[in-house]
Amino acid sequence: MSSSRFTSSLYLLTLFLLLQNVLGVDPLYSSCSGNEKSTANYGSYKTSLNVLLSSFNQLAPAMEGFALGSLGQENLDRPYGLVLCRGDVSSSDCRACVADATREILKRCPDSKQGFIAYDNCVLKYTNKDFFGQIDTQNRIYLYNVRNVSNPVIFDQKTEALLSQLANKASYKAGKMYAAGELELEGPKKLYGMAQCTRDLSSGDCKKCIDGAIGELRGFSGGKEGGRFIGGSCAVRYEIYPFVKA
């Protein structure tokens, strides 16, 4: 490659990274409830929601990637919110993701009392119902690698074995409720996995949430080289390449 072409490529890469930092990245998924602007007390709800989500920008990185809370008068509709950063991301990456999530969810759901948004590095949700300590069965997405493995029966067995081990580790309440690990495959290949829960769940409910996610992934991405479940209470992922940030 000539020096001029190299310089041009380097410039384009630098420009892309700068734009990504300024504009943020697109979410993997988002959802909102219907337009509720005309409902009673919506104005006070929206004000409380803005304050609550804004507080997450500071709270989540300081609290090892997790924050939840509620704001408003007891006798009125009030927002309940939660944000969780992936257990392997840095404090600065967590802060950036939460900032993107809070900004984008308010843009995408301007008149909604319920919202959910998922990025690679974090998830955020809010609603007008108290959901703390309950498994979220509504908000969820599935992603998978389109490539098939050569021996799906053996591969799926090993995938389930690894993710089940991680489910046991992640459900340990004293930690971050996050676990990552790997398993040997044939030859030099390895299988990499990750499991995580929101820290409002009990140890038992965390295990139940992850086990349920593993079961759903089995039907959705069985025989694939990679798969992900991202929900409002837990997340599971496996790949044949290392994806956990060091």
Residue with tokens 């029966």: 153
* 98-131 pLDDT, tens digit each: 999 999 999 999 999 999 999 999 999 999 999 9
Positions of the chain with pLDDT under 70: 1-24, 38-40, 75-76, 246
Q: Give the pTM.
A: 0.86
Q: What is the three-class DSSP state of 139?
A: coil
Q: Are 179 and 237 in contact (CB under 8 A)?
A: no
Give me the half-sphere count of Cα atoms (radius 13 Å) on the Cβ side of residue 183.
Answer: 19
The predicted pLDDT at position 175 comes to 83
The predicted pLDDT at position 4 comes to 41
The predicted pLDDT at position 246 comes to 65
Residue with tokens 């600065």: 92
The predicted pLDDT at position 14 comes to 37
Q: What is the three-class DSSP state of 63?
A: coil
CA distance 238 to 246: 16
